[in-house]
Chain A
Amino acid sequence: DTEVTQTPKHLVMGMTNKKSLKCEQHMGHRAMYWYKQKAKKPPELMFVYSYEKLSINESVPSRFSPECPNSSLLNLHLHALQPEDSALYLCASSIQGPGETQYFGPGTRLLVL
């Protein structure tokens, strides 16, 4: 299995909802990432989970919270989001550290109403 999967593909939520995005890889990669991407912009790193250590981008609001149940799964819990959080959320993984080749999932298109 050489792919990163993400569910759901699309998500529409209200500002009071709680939802979760899921990401899974079975390539034995030791690092996983969440990125946020707005239209016509590059991906922005939100969180890195590398060798069982979570690194956080300090600019990410607390309404986003990552969870890594095991080395193959990475979730992103969403709560009380704002309309400006609408974006494409991409998950990626790499064999080792963040500076190496990353393998991306297809993304979750999120719309916050």
Chain B
Amino acid sequence: SQQGEEDPQALSIQEGENATMNCSYKTSINNLQWYRQNSGRGLVHLILIRSNEREKHSGRLRVTLDTSKKSSSLLITASRAADTASYFCATGLQTGANNLFFGTGTRLTVIP
């Protein structure tokens, strides 16, 4: 069963605007990851934040993690049309073989 829920399910913004998507999860985690998927293609890893970290940056990406609220957010600044894709959070648990669970995903559309 999936571990994470994301909102919004879909987001449409103008090029240049910032996009924020949120992820909530249910159990204790080792890390939380964000992946991007262009339509019908494989997933691309964007960023990983560990449970003892609160914020992480990578280029135009900013990820926050609040373990007390079991939530994370992904901020994409100065969006571009090429950012149009589905974005998934995934939680890495501490034990167990099947311990990477994907959220429901946010479909981002950036309008040129």
Q: Chain A interface (Cβ within 8 Å of chain B)?
A: 4, 6, 40-43, 45, 48, 50, 53, 55, 57, 88, 90, 92, 97-107, 109
Tell me which of A50, A90, A97, A103 contacts B45 (CB under 8 A).
A103
Q: Which residue of B lies closest to A54 (CB)?
A: B97
Contact A48 B104 (CB under 8 A): no
Tell me which of A4, A41, A55, A105 contacts B97 (CB under 8 A).
A55
Known: A42-B88, A103-B45. A98 touches B98 (CB 8 A): yes
The interface residues of chain B lying within 8 Å CB-to-CB of A98 are: 92, 97-100
Pick 17 A–B contacts, CB within 8 A, sort by A. Answer: A4-B42, A40-B107, A41-B105, A42-B88, A42-B102, A42-B103, A42-B104, A57-B98, A92-B42, A98-B97, A99-B92, A99-B94, A99-B99, A102-B45, A104-B35, A104-B42, A105-B42
Tell me which of B94, B100, B105, B107 contacts A102 (CB under 8 A).
B100
A86 CB to nearest B CB, Å = 13
Task: Find the residue from A6, A43, A98, A102 having the highest chain B CB count within 10 A.
Answer: A43
Tell me which of A99, A104, A105 contacts B30 (CB under 8 A).
A99
Contact A99 B93 (CB under 8 A): yes
Contact A48 B98 (CB under 8 A): yes
The interface residues of chain B lying within 8 Å CB-to-CB of A40 are: 105, 107
Q: Which residue of A lies closest to B43 (CB)?
A: A104
The interface residues of chain B lying within 8 Å CB-to-CB of A50 are: 97
Using a Cβ cutoff of 8 Å, how many contacts connect chains A and B? 64
Give Cα A105–Cα B43 distance, bound, in whole angstroms. Answer: 8
B22 interfacial by beta-carbon distance below 8 Å: no
Closest 4 CB pairs of A and B: A99-B92, A104-B42, A42-B102, A55-B97
B23 CB to nearest A CB, Å = 11
B34 CB to nearest A CB, Å = 11
